[in-house]
Amino acid sequence: DGGITQSPKYLFRKEGQNVTLSCEQNLNHDAMYWYRQDPGQGLRLIYYSQIVNDFQKGDIAEGYSVSREKKESFPLTVTSAQKNPTAFYLCASSIWSRDTEAFFGQGTRLTVV
Amino acid sequence: DQQVKQNSPSLSVQEGRISILNCDYTNSMFDYFLWYKKYPAEGPTFLISISSIKDKNEDGRFTVFLNKSAKHLSLHIVPSQPGDSAVYFCAARYRSGTYKYIFGTGTRLKVLA
């Protein structure tokens, strides 16, 4: 079945460590996105990518980095520079055309201990 | 600056009645609007959408209305069912290089049996 897979579902990190969240899609979608969800703040865009080897900063990119070496993969690294990394992270993808929705993965809950 | 606003954090409705969820936006460049349903610790699932050239779209019990002059979007659920209880996110899309999806803060709907 086609879809978006995020792994792991739960992740614990020690303060000061970098951690990478995985996102893989087999929908053959061009665009991919990373969002962060915090209580009462909805989904905020971290990074997005239209094509391989190209990505853009979203509204809250500080402390995060991404890569897009393959069409199906868009990993997100939460660096030690991110001041409040504990959150629920969501990856999404969409077709590059009008009038289409973004499809989401099941999310990764990151907790800094 | 919140471009997509959902001013009601929560809503309770009796089973069988109509649920009306509201959303306001500020960016005139939005060309496509969507509603997503979300359960805790899961990714959002697409519910219904509407293009900016239309004012109504219907899918079963779900109808979305768009008032462009007022920059207002609403989702009607009739009749409401207990299984509809979830957080509903309004989203809007515009093109900035690739398409960007901007989300509201969500409305928690509780349908009472």
Partner-chain contact A42 B106, CB within 8 Å: yes
Using an 8 Å CB-CB cutoff, list chain A residues near B106: 42
∠ CA B40-B46-B48, nearest 5°, is 130
Local confidence band at A1 (pLDDT 50, 70, 90 cut-offs): low
Q: Pick from A48, A38, A39: which is nearest to A92 by CA?
A: A48
Question: Could you give the 3-state DSSP secondary structure of residue B44?
Answer: coil
- Measured distance CA(B66)–CA(B54) in Å, rounded: 7
Of A94-103, B13-22, B50-59, B78-87, minimum mean pLDDT range: A94-103
For residue range B10-43, what is the model confidence (pLDDT) as tens digits? Answer: 999 999 999 999 999 999 999 999 999 999 889 9
E runs forming strands in B6-51: 10-14, 19-25, 32-38, 45-51
Q: Please, which residues bridge with residue B3 across strands? A: none
Residue B60 CA from chain centroid, whole number: 15
Mutate to test the interface with A, among B7, B99, B102 (most CBs of A within 10 A): B99
Using an 8 Å CB-CB cutoff, list chain B residues near A101: 34, 46, 49
Local confidence band at B95 (pLDDT 50, 70, 90 cut-offs): confident
